[in-house]
Structure 1
Amino acid sequence: MRSKIVSEARHASLRRGAVVCSLLAAGLVSSSALAGKNNDGPIVSLTDGQVQGTSASGVNVFRGIPYAAPPVGKLRWQPPQAVKRWNNVRDGSSFGNTCPQVTELGAFAGPTSVTEDCLYLNVFTTGSSKKKGVIVWIHGGGNVDGESNDYDATKLAQGGPDGRETVVVTLNYRMGLFGYLSHPALNGEGHLSGNYGIMDIQQALRWVQRNIAAFGGDPNRVALGGQSAGATDTGANVLSPMSANLLTRAIYESGPLPTLPSAATALGRGQGFATAAGCGTDASKSSAQCLRDLTPERILQLQGTPNANGPYIVGPFVDGTVIPITPEKAWTTGQFNKMPVMGGRVQDEANFSIGITEYFSGQPFVPMTAAQYTSALQATYNGNAGPGGAPPAYPAGTADRVLAQYPLSAFGNDPMKAYNRVQTDTQKCQADHVLHLWAPQITSYAYDFTYQDAPYYFPKMPGFKPGAAHTIDIQFLFDNWHGGQLGVNLDQTTGQPRELTGQETKLSDQLVAAWTNFAWSGNPNGSGNSPWPKYGAGNNAKYLVQDIPLSTSNRKDYRTNYKCDFWDTVLLYPSE
């Protein structure tokens, strides 16, 4: 469905091209006025003007709606500014521009973009009832890549066969060095600074409060959620006092948020970027002007390559204002925006990054070796001093302790299986740590996605089986999600293309029902405590096991499966 919608929109755009050019050249009409002449879809009135969408499968879709002024020129590295009102009916049949990005994470994202005019959102709604629950969805991509175009929310808007009709908003937001940059010259300009991507999302949430009723949504039932980086950004908004009263539920898909970089780390990386770019590292106006004079291409050149970030990337960080305190301090002291939460992780999170590494190794593709497995653990846990002489992240000997817990012999001497468990188990235990802190304070629903055989969008590679890899669960919520334009969902056994079938579709129906029920009521069941029980307190807290069929497990078994007693002695959660 997503591919069909995108294709139809692109073809419609091409058909309009000749007419647009001639009319604009003659000065007879503005581009936003063309909607009424070329589109018979529904029209809604917003605070900034009217927009005309399209209709398909009983769902009205309004694409490419600006929620902030283009952050270009003097507005680069400024908080998002208000949209200039338009007078004619705006054409909402095409997606807005993708935000600047270079690191595509294999087949996950792309193509590369250098367009800073990218602060647009999209709305999916059935239009058949009023005051519906609302889901505002933040795409993933490590806060360096991704785009809203890849997320077809048709099924979520319909609620599937078992859920509730819901208004779904997807959006683009500034990422990488455009979205997260700390520098004395920018920080000293008298405006909020640093976490520009988080401020973009807050601007979109304010847009929702003003406009969502026009699409049948209830501004008092707004679930902010996202996957991966989207889950991180959801947590950042729950931490931020600037998001108070803008959302009423939070969804963490491959979350929740355990830690964030410090202001000092962000400043060091920002000054490193400025030095590499030939700009000053001081607080002068000339340093700020130098940074804003850089071309998007030059910034992306310093940001990274198609397969890796450079050394200056930081993502959301604790700046003291937008994000005032660390997650650990917030979760332990209760200094956050309290609301019902729903979140969890997949069983094989790390297979995503393992697959990307192999993807960029060939062709022919080369799987991880035993030596690379040992080297990777030593690099992470070796106890050496951090960048700039910072204290070691882990005590000396930690790498040996991890290797003793995860010897290759326990995984059939398969380095990728072993590395998946090391890297995934840390994330699973971090999630449990946060959920355990939340349990006495807010209503929480936790899950463990364990289904092993869903199609995956990377090519079939030697020695690699995705299992329940990071991102593989998105397709159960967003119809036919398959990463970026190079992704093709393949059967994990045959390596041939396929979509969800049979019982997989039923699992999709169940998850869509849970997500939409949660948006409506703060309860994924709609009402009651089944099939998804509240997380609860202590080791008897419950997880929903998202598999075929659904089941539940308790926290004690979860912690045993993922070796959390061990990781509790290793993982760090800075409170300052």
Structure 2
Amino acid sequence: MNCKYDTASWWKRCSGLEIFAMIAMVVLASLSQTVRAQETTSPAQAQQPQAGLPLSPVVQTSAGPLQGLDNHGVHEYLGIPYAQPPVGGLRWQPPQAYPQWTETRQATRFGPTCAQVTTLGAFAGPANSNEDCLYLNVFAPKQAGSEKLAVLVWIHGGGNFDGESNDYDASKLVTKGDVVVVTLNYRLGLLGWLANPALDHEGHPFGNYGLLDQQLALKWVQKNIASFGGDPTRVALGGQSAGSVDASTHVVSPLAAGLFNRAIFESILFDSISLSAGEKLGTSFSTAAGCGSGSGPDAAACLRSLPVETILKLQGTESANGPYMTTAPIADGTIVPSQGLFDAFKTGKFAHMPIMSGFTHDEYNFLLAINEYFSAPPQAPVSEADVKRYVETYGANASKVVAAYTPASYATPQLALDAMGTGSYVCPQQAVNQTLSSQVPLYAYEFNDRTAPFFFPGLPGFQSLAYHTADIQYLFPGWHGGTRGIAHPLNSAQEKLSDELVMAWANFARTGNPNAAGDELWPRFDARNPRSSFYLSEDIPALSLRSESQMSEEHRCKLWDSLQLP
């Protein structure tokens, strides 16, 4: 990782996602003295729909006819190829459109999950080596009327190094929200985010191959979604975690202009890294892989001839990323402007559109759960020593962190560490919300159901609360991460909150406003006017509003703003 701490200036040289990963690795090192054995990398089998479902009507796309499934009132078209497999000479190249076909293609099974090795505990997996993975899925109402419906394109999270689209059941957004939903797989890890001089000098867009995949999927939507009952003039692009960062990147990227006109940032926003930092990582990777540090065609050919297993071995382990990874967008100058994301937001150099932006109350508990999950049996809960080590990562500013939080005042060390870590994540996003709110319609929220079901297995005594990823299951029913996650049903109060969030996301896709009418329930956020700077608190038994000042005080944003975290 090209990111080292040196007191107050460290944030200037590290992307937000590198900071996220760096602090996570510090905590991992302190909490997990030994970890579970890494799973064998093998082809992943996507969760598939139940057998025996009737077929849906045939739909004509620009590439050819498709037939999907009628899944209890939702027409599902699964595993649609939107790009040629990025293998061989197409590895580390912009994605190429999939060739046309003439016979009706059966779109009844999810496509393969993209190659990944680090699973974030129960979040993703299984680890696999699939490079042929550029497939998308369309979910549409069975009884579509004559009017075309708004579209929600969803980018899964996973740090841009793991995750898969088949975990996301869009049926409730379709049936209750009355929208068409598109989910997709995209290249991950070193296969999706790699800047290397040998590749970058070939004359094609480079570095952010996963972003290029997502943009080609958006172009597919523009060409084809009308055939599924969707309206290409009303497309909301949203994502959670890394999907949120990617969605924000497309708002800035000139190459994505006109492909969507609403954006949803669900949990965390971070800046891009510089091209020089990305190429330094990429050159180190090439050297470690045995392809040298050259910038000519021989080095590029060597990289493309590497077995995918070699790439994944250098990418990381089940529990941690390796030293050559960036999980942040790379400011390559074409896909992502050289000035970076946050500067583009500050200077207004982005596609102006309605934006919904929020986070969960206990973001950091997700990382703490991963750390405890990988600790050796018996699993080790967060200790006071772990809190001390975390505080020490802030060097000369450690005393400020202690003064702001008084860790000893919390009931447990876990709650103290959750509060501090969460503040370091949500306050930068709150600052971005302030910047954007003077330029575009912005709706801000915090997910606050601290009784949300928790999908990690075997963490007795862990207080998950409103953890990072907790809100996904309220939009996508039954979401429980990867194959090792455990699904839990929502109770009646949580189902009511789920109904409210589904309608808000669907309304936003339709009109750019999450309210059914007006702004009374969820007012537009405007940091310039204290009377208009409210966050929607998504909680049970009822939604409510919290002022920006209340949010800032609870998360100690004055502290994090003073440390100038991105």
**TM-score of the pair, normalised by structure 1:** 0.87
**8 A contact 2:428–2:565 mirrored in 1:** no
> For 1:166-205, what aligned pairs fall within 5 Å after superposition?
166-205=179-218
**8 A contact 2:474–2:498 mirrored in 1:** yes
State the aligned residue count. 514
Aligned to 1:403: 402
**Which of 538, 548, 555 is equivalent to 1:555?**
548
Report the CA distance between 1:346 and its aligned residue.
0.2
**Structure 2: stretches of 5+ with no match in the other structure:** 1-45
Aligned to 2:88: 73
| Partners of 2:513 and 2:74 in 1: CA distance | 24
Q: Deviations over 1:102-124 (max 9, x none)?
A: 00111100011101010000000
**8 A contact 2:49–2:109 mirrored in 1:** no
**Which of 556, 563, 567 is equivalent to 2:560?**
567
Indicate the SS of the match to 1:342: strand
Q: Deviations over 1:356-385 (max 9, x none)?
A: 000000322111222222222323x22xxx
> For 1:381-530, what aligned pairs fall within 5 Å after superposition?
381-382=394-395, 397-412=396-411, 414-489=412-487, 498-530=488-520
> Which segment is superposed worse, 257-266 or 112-121?
257-266
Aligned to 1:294: 306
Report the CA distance between 1:335 and its aligned residue.
0.1
Aligned to 1:87: 102
**8 A contact 1:39–1:52 mirrored in 2:** no
Aligned to 2:22: none
In 2 relative to 1, CA 73–39 (structure 1 residues): closer, same or farther, beyond 3 Å?
A: farther
Aligned to 2:11: none
**Which of 224, 234, 241 is equivalent to 2:237?**
224
> Which segment is superposed worse, 301-310 or 530-539?
530-539
Q: Match of 1:149, as an amino acid?
A: N
| Partners of 1:40 and 1:251 in 2: CA distance | 32
Report the CA distance between 1:8 and its aligned residue.
4.1
**8 A contact 1:426–1:571 mirrored in 2:** no
| Partners of 2:349 and 2:433 in 1: CA distance | 15
| Partners of 1:209 and 1:438 in 2: CA distance | 26
Aligned to 1:263: 275
Aligned to 1:141: 158
Indicate the SS of the match to 1:431: helix
Q: Deviations over 1:489-520 (max 9, x none)?
A: 3xxxxxxxx40021110000000000000000
Indicate the SS of the match to 1:142: coil
Q: Match of 1:121, as an amino acid?
A: L
Report the CA distance between 1:571 and its aligned residue.
2.4
Q: Does 1:546 align with 2:538?
A: yes
Q: Match of 2:221, as an amino acid?
A: V
Report the CA distance between 1:259 and its aligned residue.
1.6
Q: Match of 2:544, as an amino acid?
A: S
| Partners of 1:149 and 1:249 in 2: CA distance | 23
Q: Deviations over 1:423-468 (max 9, x none)?
A: 1012121111001001110000000111110111012424411000
> For 1:85-164, what aligned pairs fall within 5 Å after superposition?
85-127=100-142, 128-129=144-145, 130-158=147-175, 160=176, 164=177
**Which of 230, 241, 247 is equivalent to 1:234?**
247
Report the CA distance between 1:92 and its aligned residue.
0.5
Indicate the SS of the match to 2:378: coil
Aligned to 2:527: 537
Report the CA distance between 1:319 and its aligned residue.
1.2
Greater CA radius of gyration, 1 or 2?
Answer: 1
**8 A contact 1:477–1:511 mirrored in 2:** yes
Report the CA distance between 1:131 and its aligned residue.
1.3
| Partners of 1:295 and 1:326 in 2: CA distance | 33
| Partners of 1:459 and 1:40 in 2: CA distance | 36
Q: Does 1:273 align with 2:266?
A: no
**Structure 1: stretches of 5+ with no match in the other structure:** 13-37, 383-396, 490-497
**Which of 301, 310, 333 is equivalent to 2:347?**
333
Indicate the SS of the match to 2:182: strand
| Partners of 1:368 and 1:360 in 2: CA distance | 13
> Which segment is superposed worse, 527-536 or 92-101?
527-536
Indicate the SS of the match to 2:264: strand
Q: Does 1:249 align with 2:247?
A: no
Identity %: 48
Q: Does 1:311 align with 2:301?
A: no
Aligned to 2:371: 357
Aligned to 2:23: none
| Partners of 1:89 and 1:336 in 2: CA distance | 40
Indicate the SS of the match to 1:55: strand
Report the CA distance between 1:565 and its aligned residue.
1.3
Report the CA distance between 1:400 and its aligned residue.
2.6
Report the CA distance between 1:530 and its aligned residue.
2.5
Give the aligned CA root-mean-square deviation in angstroms: 1.5
Report the CA distance between 1:39 and its aligned residue.
6.5
**Which of 56, 60, 66 is equivalent to 2:75?**
60
**8 A contact 1:367–1:462 mirrored in 2:** no
**8 A contact 1:107–1:485 mirrored in 2:** yes
Q: Match of 1:201, as an amino acid?
A: Q
| Partners of 1:294 and 1:111 in 2: CA distance | 22
